[in-house]
């Protein structure tokens, strides 16, 4: 049976490719999904994007029975204790992903309330960060 990995994208990430391409790049979420499908042919992916925090909490709960998850919470990174708590309650490998290097940007972007609830953080690698996150999740499968 193929491992199932959730790739969750939060608020405003549906506008990738249009919103501030000089910061976030020109690839869309659809482009990133195609890259992951090509790079990891034996993996079943569940791709989700929402601009609604409660819906994201539900997605995280669904991922509890999967091989793991990669999550780009967008701006929720900096203030969503609801996402923190949902991630903390899920015991699969979890990776927080950011396209840009949040540590080199505005000071408020440097603090993540989500990071303490995940196993790893990838930032500043653009779309490649999603590949690194999925590879990490798969490497941790069963060995947690």
**How many Å apart are CA 88 and CA 126, to the nearest integer?**
25
Does pLDDT of 144 surpass 80? Answer: no
CB 73 within 8 A of CB 96: yes
- CA 77, CA 43: separation in Å to the nearest integer? 27
DSSP state of 91: -
Q: Cβ atoms within 10 A of the Cβ of 119, count?
A: 15
Distance CA 144, CA 140 (A): 6
**How is domain 4-140 classified at the architecture level of CATH?**
3-Layer(aba) Sandwich (3.40)
pLDDT tens digits for 4-47?
A: 999 999 998 878 766 666 655 678 999 999 999 999 999 999 99
2 has pLDDT over 80:
yes
Tokens standing for residue 54: 């409660």
Please list the helix, strand and coil fractions of the chain in percent, rounded to the nearest 5, in that order: 45, 20, 35
CA–CA separation, 98 vs 123, rounded Å? 5
pLDDT at 143: 44
Which pLDDT score, from 0 to 100, does residue 107 have? 73
The whole-model pTM stands at 0.90
**Which three-class secondary structure state does DSSP give residue 140?**
helix
User: Which tokens sit at 68?
Assistant: 């793991």
Q: Tens digit of pLDDT for each residue in 70-127?
A: 999 998 998 899 999 999 999 999 999 998 766 655 676 668 999 999 999 999 888 8
pLDDT number for residue 77: 92
Q: Which residues are catalytic?
A: 24, 98
Token duo for residue 100: 């840009």
The alpha helices in the chain, defined as continuous H runs, are 21-24, 29-39, 53-62, 81-88, 128-140
pLDDT at 141 over 70: yes
| pLDDT confidence of residue 15 | 80
- Domain-by-domain residue ranges, the chain? 4-140
What number of residues does the chain have? 144
């Amino acid at each position: 049976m193929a491992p199932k990995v959730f790739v969750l994208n939060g608020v405003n990430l549906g506008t990738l490719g249009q919103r501030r391409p000089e910061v976030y790049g020109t690839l869309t979420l659809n482009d990133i999904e195609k890259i992951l499908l090509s790079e990891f042919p034996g993996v079943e992916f569940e791709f989700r994007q929402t601009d609604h925090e409660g819906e994201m909490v539900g997605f995280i709960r669904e991922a509890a029975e999967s091989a793991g998850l990669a999550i780009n919470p967008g701006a929720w990174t900096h203030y969503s204790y609801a996402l923190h708590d949902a991630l903390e309650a899920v015991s699969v490998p979890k990776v927080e992903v950011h396209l840009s290097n949040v540590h080199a940007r505005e000071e408020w972007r440097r603090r993540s309330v989500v990071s303490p609830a995940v196993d790893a953080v990838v930032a500043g690698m653009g779309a490649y960060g999603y590949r690194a996150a999925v590879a990490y999740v798969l490497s941790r499968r069963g060995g947690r």
